[in-house]
Amino acid sequence: MSRKQQIPRPGSDLGADDTGCPILHVDMDAFYAGVELRDRPELRGTPVIIGAPGARGVVLSATYEARRFGVHSAMPMTRARRLCPQAVIIPPSRGKYTEVSRRVMEIFQTFTPEVEPIASDEAFLDVGGARKRLGPPAEIARMIREQVEREQGITCSVGVASSKFVAKLASQHCKPDGLFVVPADRVVDFLHPLPVAALWGVGERTEQSLARLGIKTVGDLARVPLDTLQRELGQAAGAHLAALAWGRDERPVTPDVPDKSIGAEETFATDIADPAEIRRELLRLSERVAARLRRGGSVGRTVSVKLRRADFTTLSRSRSLREPTDVAKILYDVSCALYTASGLENVHLRLVGVRVENLSPAAGATRQLGLGERETGWREAEQAMDRAVRRFGNDAVLPASLVRPPFDGIDP
């Protein structure tokens, strides 16, 4: 029996020994698509693509039925439609995905406080401290999968392993809707048959460099002397990949990792040169970023804008504030100033973005008023908007410039 055949396969007996495997990687299956199909069950089993339907749209998510045609996230929608013309296209509902993500993370917290979200649809969990209360890691993984499906109507795949790196590979190995255990004493057996591109840090260029050395699998890499790898890839990268090839990953699960930055961007259906339209989009993005800052209890000191021309060249400009903020009005004013200073007014743009960096907890931030300066009340007004949005939905309260006029039968 070959080494690869000895590895437990998805759908086979999952009673593998999970001793020494406290790390779970939980990954939602085709998350955005799964949320949409929960509300439209008649589409289950059919190709579905989530993304803006216009020519400039990109694929945000696709069901596994659509993926069989080669459709994948970040693909231009025009290409996705050519590959799978029979697919149903559903525009994204970002607020809905955010809410489901929040509830899924809350489910994880009921099993262990050691939860490290790494995206809206995936997280690492350390369940070592929950064994006495809930049972072995594989059993906890099974309970998590059942609770996510029961409460949120979507499926997830879970990898169980001795380290974060191996647990993430294990969850990919059993997608969709699977559970896969890599026993601590079988890590090398699991890793070495895999293509070398499975290792974190192996991108296209690194893969090409390794191919020149005749390295195609993780096992091939594991047998290469360390000094050879470091000579080819550099000291740090060579040592990093050599450790991963033998399953060595000492990073702990780190709960509540703070965001380093918060941003939002928009690709236009057609290129826009009108400065008034660009500023309206900057306002929309500033509102979205500020709301995320307040929701996460953060303020930021550095504001940046991203401006992409019609020829895809991209310009970024940033400015640091005297005081950190979570107020959309301030973000908007700075963004407009950066846009004006960029020299791209009246230039056709295909994308704009707003981002806030140098984040800190809002609880520790204080606003120092200058001599004779008065409070503007913007923060209080925006907090009231937050409360209205939570109660009545995302479009309950909008700045006047973002409110569309009533439909009068004329396409504007």
What's the average model confidence in pLDDT over 36-44? Answer: 94
User: In what order do the strands lie in the sheet containing 261-272?
Assistant: 261-272, 349-361, 298-309, 314-325
Which CATH code is given to the segment(s) 16-182?
3.30.70.270
Q: What is the pLDDT of residues 305-325, one digit of tens each?
A: 999 998 888 899 999 999 999
Helix axes 94-111, 31-39, angle to 10 degrees: 100
**Which CATH fold would you assign to the domain 261-364+376-402?**
Dna Ligase; domain 1 (3.30.1490)
Distance in angstroms (rounded) separating the CA atoms of residues 116 and 105: 9
Binding site residue list: 27, 121
CB 173 within 8 A of CB 159: yes
pLDDT at 394: 46
Distance in angstroms (rounded) separating the CA atoms of residues 405 and 412: 10
Catalytic residue among 36, 122, 287, 382: 122
Q: What is the pLDDT of residues 249-296, one digit of tens each?
A: 989 999 876 677 898 888 787 889 999 999 999 999 999 999 989 988
Percent share of the chain, pLDDT over 70: 83
pLDDT at 288: 92
For residue 257, give the DSSP letter.
P
pLDDT beyond 70 at 191:
yes
Amino acid identity for residue 394 in this structure: N
pLDDT at 378: 60
CA atoms within a 13 Å half-sphere pointing along the CA-CB vector of 153: 13
Binding site residue list for Mg(2+): 27, 121
Distance in angstroms (rounded) separating the CA atoms of residues 220 and 16: 26
Listed by start position, the domains of the chain span 16-182, 192-245, 261-364+376-402
Distance in angstroms (rounded) separating the CA atoms of residues 122 and 101: 9
Distance in angstroms (rounded) separating the CA atoms of residues 330 and 332: 5
Q: Judge if 192-245 and 261-364+376-402 fold alike in CATH terms.
A: no
pTM of the predicted structure, to 2 decimals = 0.67
Residue 412: band (very low, low, confident or very high) from pLDDT cuts 50, 70, 90? very low
Nearest residue to 359 (alpha-carbon basis) of 315, 294, 306, 307? 294
What's the average model confidence in pLDDT over 338-366? Answer: 88
pLDDT beyond 70 at 61:
yes
pLDDT beyond 60 at 173:
yes
For residue 212, give the DSSP letter.
H
Query: How many secondary structure helices (H) and strands (E) does the chain include?
Result: 16, 12
Comparison of pLDDT for 45 and 93, the residue scoring more: 45
Which CATH code is given to the segment(s) 192-245?
1.10.150.20
pLDDT beyond 80 at 386:
no
Active-site residue flag, 122: yes
